[in-house]
A and B are shown apart, each in its own frame.
Chain A
């Protein structure tokens, strides 16, 4: 990084500059205050609320110690929600990563159709998850949707009425929206790989596939970690999409953590247990982010240097 050390100052007009700090500090205050009020205070607040039995409807917030935690931790709904969250996370990672890498490499290349393709590819990213989910809900209708249109038997299923299928639909819709984003990240990563590496490989007689596995993939290591971190941590908080698509159903088949939290808090008026789940959500996110970071090993800043 390039934070210059306090370089030798040419002249000492001390009072006015005072190292620049005294006179600029105030500029950080508006951002600090806004973020403290609606970011940091709530972060502490969610922990505090997890020790209460607030209903969300009343003025008083009764302090009830560990009751909420006890009820959440003994509820079989929690392991189920964790399992659903994990499934969505793992399967959507497995689906998105290879396709995004493939598309990223493809997009990094120069060819005639690239511009046209790129325009269409990124449209899903621009739509709200509510809009996308509403569309897919109608599109997957067994009688009037895509299946009927193409006349394909296997597409004419009750996609959102079956637990396993509904989970698959959630993963598919997530991928449909986010694969373009991750291919964009991979495209950037591929473009940073030095051409000289491929030339050397070519001289050594390595084929295209060999080059992909021996150069492209290892060189993308840090891009893969960045993209995976975003995918995995992001998937913890999928809410809009699941809520509009299935509302956690059928039954509780797609009731992931964030959906579980919303239903307990804002539908069943149990803000205490809902807050406990929110705390678990924060902890999972932190653990995953730190874990993936450790996986990355050394600092990323020096990762893509030539010959590294």
Chain B
């Protein structure tokens, strides 16, 4: 279901100019164009509104037209949000994201490598791989109660580690699947020649598979990083004290506390999204291919 990768049809290479002519906008798809522009409006209006409102004073917000730009823009709201411990929440989010995605991608890479190299001869490895495929179907929400119990039992409740460990575990199945698909593309001869040169499997992993699958590793890291960064359920259930909040939870608490100060709430929304938007501007292609990791290549 998930590995829908197929090689591009032969026609694509054979006749590139024809492929282009097929998608000539002037004769193609008025309806699609209309939908495209309409959708653009639907996406942009709320984004525009978030930004202009976050620059308004609270009094202005209630007095002016919601869609009019602020008469005199202010960064007051941003100052207020930053003074409400958002720096701490930001650091927490960074710790949780790096602490779970780093090991998750490393473990998945090793497991995917082991399966591709040894799966043909090892029932154990095939079994493990089957387990991960099954794991793709387990929704995090459905097993949150036992996770909560385990976290209490190992005395990790209300720590950042409590968020890190389940995030790490749930990043593994999809990462193994995607990385496996890429390691499989490495020509067998290269592995053979590494072996002839006396390289260990560990050495081959780092000196051959790692450089050749680096784009896939980046992609998987981005996808999982985004998932953990935006995660809400695990922090909600596994932490309690304000010092352990990550950004999405902090946002929620903040809007509960200052629900009348909409401009400040929206400034907090902008601040939490800013790091990701910066990354998006820097590496749009990588990020988008990361989002569809596993569904297309």
Binding site for B on A (CB under 8 A): 1-7, 10, 13, 17, 19-28, 30-32, 34-35, 37-46, 48-49, 54, 56, 99, 102-103, 105-112, 117, 119-131, 134-139, 144-146, 148-150, 176, 179-181, 184-185, 188-189, 192-196, 198-199, 208, 222-223, 226, 229-230, 233, 236-237, 239-240, 243-244, 258, 261, 265-266, 271, 274-275, 278-279, 281-282, 285-286, 289, 293, 296, 300-306
Given the contacts A20-B117, A229-B1, A258 and B141 also touching, CB distance less than 8 Å: yes
| Cβ A185 vs Cβ B138 within 8 A | no
Stretch at the interface among B39-47, B81-89, B211-219: B39-47
> Across the interface, which residues of B come within 8 angstroms of A148, CB to CB?
65-66
In the complex, which of the residues B47, B168, B200 contacts A34, with contact meaning CB atoms closer than 8 Å? B168
B residues 215-229 touching A (CB-CB < 8 Å): 226, 229
Given the contacts A110-B23, A208-B29, A274-B145, A130 and B248 also touching, CB distance less than 8 Å: yes
Bound-complex Cα distance A5 to B119 (A): 10
Least CB distance, A149 to chain B, in whole angstroms: 4
| Cβ A24 vs Cβ B201 within 8 A | yes
In the complex, which of the residues B35, B192, B276 contacts A10, with contact meaning CB atoms closer than 8 Å? B192
| Cβ B165 vs Cβ A123 within 8 A | no
| Cβ B150 vs Cβ A237 within 8 A | no
Chain A CB within 8 A of B78 CB: no
Q: Which 6 A-B pairs have the closest CB atoms?
A: A45-B146, A106-B32, A38-B169, A128-B230, A149-B66, A42-B146
| Cβ B230 vs Cβ A27 within 8 A | no
| Cβ A301 vs Cβ B146 within 8 A | no
Chain A CB within 8 A of B283 CB: no
Least CB distance, A132 to chain B, in whole angstroms: 9
| Cβ A34 vs Cβ B165 within 8 A | yes
Residue of A with least CB distance to B62: A144
| Cβ B113 vs Cβ A208 within 8 A | no
In the complex, which of the residues A150, A230, A261 contacts B141, with contact meaning CB atoms closer than 8 Å? A261
Least CB distance, B264 to chain A, in whole angstroms: 11
> Across the interface, which residues of B come within 8 angstroms of A56, CB to CB?
145, 148
| Cβ A99 vs Cβ B150 within 8 A | no
How many residue pairs link A and B with beta carbons under 8 A? The number is: 363
> Across the interface, which residues of B come within 8 angstroms of A105, CB to CB?
29, 32
> Across the interface, which residues of B come within 8 angstroms of A282, CB to CB?
138-139, 142-143
In the complex, which of the residues B1, B49, B115, B143 contacts A289, with contact meaning CB atoms closer than 8 Å? B1
| Cβ A285 vs Cβ B139 within 8 A | yes
| Cβ B252 vs Cβ A244 within 8 A | yes
Least CB distance, A27 to chain B, in whole angstroms: 4
Residue of A with least CB distance to B36: A106
Least CB distance, B207 to chain A, in whole angstroms: 15
Residue of B with least CB distance to A104: B32
| Cβ B137 vs Cβ A286 within 8 A | yes
Residue of B with least CB distance to A7: B188
> Across the interface, which residues of A come within 8 angstroms of B36, CB to CB?
102-103, 106-107, 117
> Across the interface, which residues of A come within 8 angstroms of B44, CB to CB?
120
Least CB distance, A308 to chain B, in whole angstroms: 9
Most buried by A among B47, B119, B232, B291: B232
| Cβ B121 vs Cβ A19 within 8 A | yes
A-B contact pairs, 18 of them (CB 8 A): A25-B114, A25-B118, A27-B114, A32-B131, A99-B35, A103-B32, A110-B23, A126-B226, A128-B230, A128-B248, A128-B251, A130-B252, A226-B1, A261-B141, A261-B142, A300-B4, A306-B9, A306-B10
Bound-complex Cα distance A244 to B255 (A): 10
In the complex, which of the residues A27, A102, A180, A240 contacts B110, with contact meaning CB atoms closer than 8 Å? A27
Given the contacts A25-B124, A192-B6, A305-B6, A145 and B66 also touching, CB distance less than 8 Å: yes
Least CB distance, A235 to chain B, in whole angstroms: 11
| Cβ B145 vs Cβ A120 within 8 A | no
Residue of B with least CB distance to A223: B4
Bound-complex Cα distance A303 to B6 (A): 9
In the complex, which of the residues A103, A109, A176, A281 contacts B28, with contact meaning CB atoms closer than 8 Å? A109
Chain A CB within 8 A of B95 CB: no
| Cβ B146 vs Cβ A49 within 8 A | yes
Least CB distance, A306 to chain B, in whole angstroms: 4
| Cβ A103 vs Cβ B111 within 8 A | no
Least CB distance, B33 to chain A, in whole angstroms: 6
